[in-house]
Structure 1
Amino acid sequence: MIYDTIGSGDSEWAGKSATAIREIAEADGSVLLVPVGSIEQHGSHLPVATDTILVDAVVHGATERAGEDVPVLVTPPIWTGFSPHHLSFGGTLSLDFEDLRAVLEDVARTAIGNGFNAVCFVNGHGGNAALVDAVVSTVGIGTDAEILGTTYFSLATDEVSSVRDSERGGMAHGGEYETSLMLHLRPDLVADADQRDGTLWDEHYEWGGGDLLDGGSLSVYRPFDSYSESGAIGAPELASAGKGERIHEIVTRELAAVIVAIHEHNR
């Protein structure tokens, strides 16, 4: 995993031989997971790799919960995403929409060639969501394998809501949700509490969503400097490692259920 030694997990594609990968791929109901992250600013208190670190950790946590009977592998994370709305703050690396789409399509298509029955993209950055949805269709139309996609923080939102202390808008970019997860998984990369400065999400349109748990029904493009001076949106001051542990437990359990369902459907 990105926060550990490559090849340390049983589901880690990068640490296996080509022969071992093909054996897993050719098993009945095999599933390949592709974590998709980003390198972008997360205020002054979180590293720019936050989205990549978190999605990779969630995916590997979910595969452990899915059980040894599920033939599943996880590719190395796609470490950069579509993040033009963060560029003004610096520290951000972004691909063009078409370039990232081509990367995801190529990864999926070449992986399918090993014999996988299903490929699921697991996204960890809001700016990638529409693109991942599109790739599900562009890859799916050309293969008999089942192609799926999800964004991990869209899973089990009602249960995660029971963990929060912030009001609506507090679990947005670099807010209570992501900061708590980072405090649980990589506290060494989180700045001290006095540097956790965020602004509650305040979208002009009521249909535009409130935070990671409430994406809204209306898509709106705005650069992030129109929402926050620090680059963080939400309430990172309310984050804690205990909340992060609970959020991690909830979302990995839910994603594990998705993985098992995909496996069973494709047997």
Structure 2
Amino acid sequence: MVYDTIGASPVAWAGKPYPAVRDAAERDGSVAVVPVGSLEQHGHHLPTATDTILADAVATTAAERAADAMPVLVTPPIWTGHSPHHTPFGGTVSLDGGDLLDLLERVAETVLAEGFDGLLLLNGHGGNGALVSSATSAIGASHRTAEVLGVTYFDLGADRIGEIRDSDRGGAGHAGEVETSMLAHLRPDLVDLDAAEGTPWESPYDRTRDDLSHPGPLSAYADFDAYSETGAVGTPELATAEKGERFFEVFVDEVGDVLERLHERAG
């Protein structure tokens, strides 16, 4: 699978003339998906657009599989997010939190103005999580006749991911086993497994997020050079494309369930 051409998918908003977009929006239970990513360092072995590529791939594949049962379109991804904690390594473009929140609200305003009944903000970067939640609330309050959801895709399916991974807790962090495996599956041309080197995720505080699939209730800030010398947190050395396909299928399946329920509620 290669997701590198804007508009190539049959569910891509960007590949359709405007009458086709409006036709989709006007159908009962119509859903628009906005992938939200980042442009930030991902160690020595993954591209800086990792979060954007993965969020877009999960959103697009889930929507393609749901398209026979519902009218659904996926916008091009928002490619930059809130990433100040990655700037010490370089290669990172970051928005202030308020700017990202404003961007999400403005995008949603025009998406919903087309007539879509439901909107899903599908996030792929941990630093965006709280802002996507805030945007979901603000957008929902401003558009009370629409169904509005927001989710970080890797917060879904933790038990199923645990059955696939080989790393201990802390091994599936930023640019760790899960993200590296999925990129090796989706875009092997952008992955250098020989350069994969990370530090298992360890926080000085209990109950913070300490793994991609283990979010915690406590929030704390630290620049990522406090966690890792390479910028990768976890054990990317354990990544394989075969596991990446299985991880990817879990997330696509979980997001598909979200889309199904959103369509039912929006109809």
Q: Where does residue 241 of structure 2 map in the other structure?
A: 241
Q: Where does residue 204 of structure 2 map in the other structure?
A: 204
**Structure 1 residues 68 and 247, CA gap change in structure 2 (3 angstroms):** same
Q: Does 1:109 align with 2:106?
A: no
Instruction: Say which SS state the counterpart of residue 251 (structure 2) adopts.
Output: helix
Unaligned runs of 5+ in 2: none
The answer to whether the 8 A contact 1:65-1:253 is kept is no
Q: Where does residue 134 of structure 1 map in the other structure?
A: 134
Q: Distance in 2 between matches of 1:10 and 1:260?
A: 18
**Structure 1 residues 150 and 69, CA gap change in structure 2 (3 angstroms):** same
Q: How does 1:84-163 map to 2 (within 5 A)?
A: 84-143=84-143, 144-163=145-164
Q: Distance in 1 between matches of 2:16 and 2:67?
A: 18
Give the C-alpha shift of residue 257 in structure 1: 1.1
TM-score using structure 1 length? 0.97
RMSD: 1.2
Moved more, 140-149 or 42-51: 140-149
Q: Distance in 1 between matches of 2:74 and 2:198?
A: 33
Q: Where does residue 64 of structure 1 map in the other structure?
A: 64
The answer to whether the 8 A contact 2:147-2:265 is kept is no
Q: Distance in 2 between matches of 1:2 and 1:125?
A: 20
Moved more, 59-68 or 156-165: 59-68
Instruction: Say which SS state the counterpart of residue 150 (structure 2) adopts.
Output: strand
The answer to whether the 8 A contact 1:41-1:91 is kept is yes
Give the C-alpha shift of residue 192 in structure 1: 3.4
Q: Distance in 2 between matches of 1:54 and 1:99?
A: 23
TM-score using structure 2 length? 0.97
Q: Distance in 1 between matches of 2:208 and 2:6?
A: 39
Q: What amino acid sits opposite 2:106 in the alignment?
A: D
Q: What amino acid sits opposite 1:84 in the alignment?
A: P
Q: Distance in 2 between matches of 1:226 and 1:211?
A: 16
Give the C-alpha shift of residue 2 in structure 1: 8.6
Q: Distance in 2 between matches of 1:2 and 1:11?
A: 15
Moved more, 153-162 or 61-70: 61-70
Instruction: Say which SS state the counterpart of residue 230 (structure 2) adopts.
Output: coil
Q: What amino acid sits opposite 2:233 in the alignment?
A: I
Q: How does 1:196-235 map to 2 (within 5 A)?
A: 196-235=196-235
Give the C-alpha shift of residue 159 in structure 1: 0.3
Q: Distance in 1 between matches of 2:81 and 2:2?
A: 16
Give the C-alpha shift of residue 32 in structure 1: 0.5
Q: Distance in 2 between matches of 1:23 and 1:69?
A: 16
Q: Distance in 2 between matches of 1:49 and 1:257?
A: 26
The answer to whether the 8 A contact 2:11-2:67 is kept is no
The answer to whether the 8 A contact 1:42-1:174 is kept is yes
Instruction: Say which SS state the counterpart of residue 40 (structure 2) adopts.
Output: coil
Task: Please list the CA deviations of residues 58-105 of structure 1 after superposition, one character each: whole Å capped at 9, or x if unmatched.
Answer: 111111222412100000000000000000000000011111111110
Q: What amino acid sits opposite 2:186 in the alignment?
A: L
Instruction: Say which SS state the counterpart of residue 149 (structure 2) adopts.
Output: strand
Q: Does 1:192 align with 2:185?
A: no
Question: Deviating runs (4+, > 3 A) in structure 1?
Answer: none
Q: Does 1:44 align with 2:44?
A: yes
Q: How does 1:161-176 map to 2 (within 5 A)?
A: 161-176=162-177
Give the C-alpha shift of residue 10 in structure 1: 1.3
Instruction: Say which SS state the counterpart of residue 208 (structure 1) adopts.
Output: coil
Q: Distance in 2 between matches of 1:191 and 1:124?
A: 21
